[in-house]
Amino acid sequence: DVKVTQSSRYLVKRTGEKVFLECVQDMDHENMFWYRQDPGLGLRLIYFSYDVKMKEKGDIPEGYSVSREKKERFSLILESASTNQTSMYLCASSLSQGAITYTFGSGTRLTVV
Amino acid sequence: AQKITQTQPGMFVQEKEAVTLDCTYDTSDQSYGLFWYKQPSSGEMIFLIYQGSYDEQNATEGRYSLNFQKARKSANLVISASQLGDSAMYFCAMREFLYGQNFVFGPGTRLSVLP
């Protein structure tokens, strides 16, 4: 089975800190995604990547950036964390653009204080 | 624009009974897929079932079935013979395929199965 691993289950950071959320997948998937999940809003797409060094903005990219230097790794970066970025962050991957579904990681619950 | 509506923030069901989780969607595309994901307390999103817009038969996967009514734009999830392990958040999602669009998720329904 494809495994998507997020490096931290829980993180607490201070306002203004630079935060890195790491995601690694082990099955050579082309596409990787970052979502944030908030109660009553479901999952919203932040950024995605179809290939190494490629990135596309999702629905809510403001305040975030991403990096994909290797195919298996997709990092989400909060340049200057703010309290409104307190959320659950989910990484996902899919084999290709035509793939029916995604495989998700277990999520990182980020609290910014 | 794509949109998913799940009107039930929370649902309760007795163990061994069936339950229906509602989902309506909005799209102008003809080619799309509808999905249901389960999120237990562990946080991982688990794919349950998929229905393509051109599929004439309702999708089934074990105890899960998708009641697809295209004219009404609804894609309700039916869980038969509920088990305690079914307690989780359930998300309805859609992808439009014509331009390779990404998933749009609904707000979710929290299902609690009572012993």
Instruction: Reply yes or no on whether the pLDDT at B98 is more than 70.
Output: no
Residue (of B96, A5, A66, A77) closest to A58 by Cα position: A66
Distance CA A95, CA A99 (A): 6
Q: What's the CA gap between A80 and B87, in Å, rounded?
A: 37
Residue B70: count other Cβ atoms within 10 Å of its Cβ: 13
Q: What is the pLDDT of residues A71-84, one digit of tens each?
A: 999 999 999 999 99
Q: What is the mean pLDDT of residues B69-84?
A: 96
Distance from CA of A100 to the nearest CA of B (A): 8
| Mean pLDDT for the stretch of residues B95-102 | 73
Q: What is the mean pLDDT of residues B78-92?
A: 97
Cα A43 from Cα A101, distance rounded (Å): 15
Mutation for testing the B interface, residue in A47, A90, A104 having most B CBs under 10 Å: A104
Query: Are B111 and B78 in contact, with CB atoms under 8 Å apart?
Result: no
- Residue with the two structure tokens 């195919």: A71
Check residue A69 and give its pLDDT.
95
Q: Chain B contacts of A35, Cβ < 8 Å?
A: 105
Residue B9 in this model has a pLDDT that exceeds 80: yes
Closest approach of B72 to chain A, Cα-based (Å): 22
Give A45-73 pLDDT, tens digit per residue: 999 999 998 999 999 999 999 999 999 99
**pLDDT tens readout for residues B23-71:** 999 988 888 999 999 999 988 899 999 999 999 899 999 999 999 999 9
- Say if CB B4 and CB A42 are below 8 A apart: yes
CA B106 to chain A, closest CA, distance in angstroms equals 5
Three-state secondary structure call for residue A80: coil
pLDDT band at B100 (very low <50, low <70, confident <90, very high): low
Higher pLDDT, A97 or B46: B46
Both tokens assigned to A48: 């995605």
Compute how many other C-beta atoms are within 10 angstroms of the C-beta atom of residue A56: 13
3 state SS of B20? strand
Residue B6 or residue B96, greater confidence: B6
